[in-house]
Amino acid sequence: MVSWTDYLVPLSQGAWVTVQLTFWSTILGAILSFAGGIGKLSPIRPVRWLSVTYVEVFRGTSLLVQLFWLYFALPVAGDAIGVNLRLPPVTAGVLALSLNIGAYGAEVVRGAIQSVSKAQYEAAKAMNFTPRQTLWRVALPQAIPEMMPSFSNLAVQNLKDTALASLISLGDLAFKAEQLRNYYQDSTTVYTIVLFMYFGMALVLSVLMRLLERNVGRWRGARR
Amino acid sequence: MLFGLHWDTAHGDLAFAASILPMLLIGMWVTIEASILGFFVALIIGLILSVLKAAPSRLIRWPALAVAEFIRDTPLLVQLFFLYYVLPDYGIVLPAFLTGALALGIQYSAYTAEVYRAGLEAVPHGQHEAARALDLPARRTFTHVVLPQAVPRVVPAMGNYLVSIMKDVPVLSVVTVLEMLNVAKIIGDQTFNYMIPLTMVGGLYMILTIFASALVRFADRKLPKRGIALR
């Protein structure tokens, strides 16, 4: 007879993979958000088109389709042009998750930059700031605090989405849960524990994001 | 062979793509059905949740808040597995498609509940006061003053969730629902060609979401901004 405590060791191993997956794809996703969001506002046309295409494609299709495409279809495309594009599950997982969340984040970044008041841009121009200085010293310090609540939601969304990576045989929490269920046929206990583990991780992530939000909030009124 | 149709692997990529398109379209229809059913479940459960979350009694309000937060913070995939494997243990045996639609509906009810709340709260306070000044009974205030003004605010947000639900339907493939991605996966498994079916699914998804988003925008434009009379 197995007790529910026997599930905890394998499930914690899975949870650790989920944490790492969430961490890396959120970081990479944040970078892509800024690249895509700023790119969409770029005066250079090819950059703008590239950003718009990126955002539309990854927001317009399903994450699971993107994940399967990177994992199953990309190697075939690679073979056709003679390059080895066989990604290990971890790489495909992190890449798909961050590309997907980055596309949603790009819209947040674009919206926040555009919501900085016009007078700020006029003042920057009057002070003879270069476009780069305007972006880094005027627009972003005011826009980033505005982005934080949406970024918190996206981070939790990303944590939930990592469960899909189990479908390309990545050993995360959802994958371990499925293994345990197959082995012990005790679905109620296993899935109840797993749901609560995801819930706990999401709560911790929300708290961390709120701390970050408070920290970043100081930039709004910063005088440098 | 799938759905009694055959794929053509002998006459190049284009012929192959053309031969599997009907199969993908059958899968697409399942995707649409699952989205719409899941959407209605989300609308109903979300309404119940939002009413409970605003209940005057703490004994009702707090559990409702906790449940909504729990649903929002746990992955659809795990919720789906939970329903699929746990419900039969308690004697509830649903077909995979219905279990999937139920899971989609439950996951999104946490979001639609917020939309209802925001829509009702966005009605200006003066409207409630005016209704009181006119001595309208509470029920008529709600059905004839508040609700008609809340509906145009709620519709576009709900529409966006319908599009999100559509993009989550492929998750149902894990419980054997033959939606678009599952069809593509099966074709790939059998023909060893994943590239073409999966790329086609991506393209079909783009078409589907662009069309659905346009529909939502159209509905948003058509709704009078000052409210519609619900009679």
Tell me the CATH number at B92: 1.10.3720.10
Give residue-wise pLDDT tens across range B149-188. Answer: 888 888 889 999 999 999 999 999 999 999 999 999 999 9
Among A residues 177-216, those touching chain B with beta carbons less than 8 Å apart: 177-178, 181, 187-188, 191-192, 194-195, 198-199, 202-203
- Comparing B111 with A223, the larger pLDDT belongs to B111
* Per-residue pLDDT tens digits for B86-125: 988 888 889 999 999 999 999 999 999 999 999 888 888 8
Give the pLDDT band (50/70/90) at residue A221. Answer: low
The answer to whether A141 and A221 have CB atoms below 8 angstroms apart is no
Structural domain contains residue B5: no
In a domain, residue B163? The reply is: yes
Task: Supply the range of the domain harboring residue A26.
Answer: 4-221
Nearest CB to B206 within list A60, A174, A191: A60
Q: Which residue has the higher pLDDT, A167 or B147?
A: A167
Searching chain B, which residue's CA lies closest to the CA of residue A77? B195
A2 DSSP assignment: -
Average pLDDT in the A163-170 region? 92
Do the beta carbons of residue A9 and residue A176 sit within 8 Å?
no
| Region A30-34 average pLDDT | 96
What is the per-residue pLDDT for B69? 94
Which chain B residue is nearest to residue A185, measuring alpha carbons? Answer: B85
CB contact under 8 A, B82 and A77: no
A59 Cβ contact list (under 8 Å, min separation 6): A103, A104, A107, B209
Q: Is the CB of B74 less than 8 angstroms away from the CB of A187?
A: no
Residue-wise pLDDT for A187-215, tens only, equals 888 999 999 999 999 999 999 999 999 98
User: Is B78 in Cβ contact with A66 (below 8 Å)?
Assistant: no
Dihedral angle sign, alpha carbons of residues B162, B73, A196, A102: positive
Write down the pLDDT at residue B75. 96
Distance, C-alpha B62 to centroid of its chain: 26
Average of pLDDT values for A134-160? 92
Of the candidates A68, A69, A163, which has its C-beta nearest B77's C-beta? A163
Q: Could you tell me which chain A residue has the CA closest to the CA of B211?
A: A60
Q: At what angle do helices A173-184 and A8-40 cross, to 10 degrees?
A: 150
Mean pLDDT of A124-148: 91
Residue, of A217 and A28, whose pLDDT is higher: A28
pLDDT-above-70 percentage for chain A:
97
Q: Biggest alpha carbon distance in chain A? A: 76
- Report the residue from B77, B85, B209 with minimal CB separation from A181: B85
Residues of chain B contacting residue A61, judged by C-beta atoms under 8 Å apart: 167, 202, 205-206, 209
Q: Work out the number of other CB atoms within 10 angstroms of the CB of residue A51.
A: 21
Q: What's the gap in Å between the CA of B169 and the closest CA on chain A?
A: 8
CA dihedral A59, A60, A65, A69 (to 10 degrees): -80
Place of tokens 């899971």: B103
CA B16/CA B110 separation, integer angstroms: 42
Count how many domains chain B has.
1
Which residues of chain B from 186 to 205 reach within 8 Å of chain A, CB to CB? 188, 193-195, 198-199, 201-202, 205
Q: What is d(CA B24, CA B12) in angstroms, rounded to the nearest whole number?
A: 18
Residue B7: inside a domain, yes or no?
A: no
Structure ipTM over 0.85, yes or no: yes
| Candidate from A127-141, A160-174, B217-231 with smallest mean pLDDT | B217-231
Residue B214 confidence class, pLDDT cut points 50, 70, 90: very high
What residues make up the domain containing B178?
12-222
Of B78, B173, B198, the CB nearest to A198: B78
pLDDT for A1 beyond 70: no
Any chain A CB within 8 A of the CB of B91? no
The tens digit of pLDDT for each residue in B23-67 reads: 999 999 999 999 999 999 999 999 999 999 988 899 999 999 999
With beta carbons under 8 A apart, name residues in chain A contacting B73: 156, 160, 198-199, 202-203
C-alpha separations of A105 from A99, A130, A182, B23, B28 in Å:
10, 26, 37, 34, 28
Across the interface, which of B81, B82, B181 has its CB nearest the CB of A64?
Answer: B181
- Per the domain annotation, does B125 fall within a domain? yes
User: Residue A169's pLDDT is what?
Assistant: 87
Of A62, A73, A163, which has the smallest distance from its Cβ to B78's Cβ? A163
Q: Which of A78 and A70 is assigned the larger pLDDT?
A: A70
Contact B82 A195 (CB under 8 A): yes
Beta pairing partners, B5: B2
We report the CATH number of the domain holding residue A35 as 1.10.3720.10
Q: Token pair for residue B196?
A: 């073409």
Domain-located, residue B228: no
pLDDT tops 80 at residue B228? no
* B4 belongs to a structural domain: no
Average pLDDT, chain A: 91
> What secondary structure letter does DSSP report for B2?
B
What's the alpha-carbon Rg for chain A, to the nearest Å? 21
Among B78, B86, B193, select the one facing A174 at the smallest CB separation: B78
Q: Which two tokens stand for residue B215?
A: 């529909």
**Minimum Cα–Cα distance from A76: chain B residue:** B195
Interface test with A, best of B24, B82, B173 (most A CBs within 10 A): B82
As for how many domains chain A has, the answer is 1
Contact A76 B194 (CB under 8 A): yes
pTM for the structure as a whole = 0.89
Chain A residues inside the 8 Å CB shell of B174: 167
Q: What is the DSSP string of A44-110?
A: SHHHHHHHHHHHHHHHHS-HHHHHHIIIIIHHHHHHHHT------HHHHHHHHHHHHHHHHHHHHHH
Q: What distance in Å separates the CA atoms of residue A89 and residue B145, rounded to the nearest whole number?
A: 55
Tens-place pLDDT, residues B3-16: 877 888 888 889 98
Q: Mean pLDDT across the stretch A94-113?
A: 95
Say yes or no to pLDDT of A82 above 90.
Answer: no
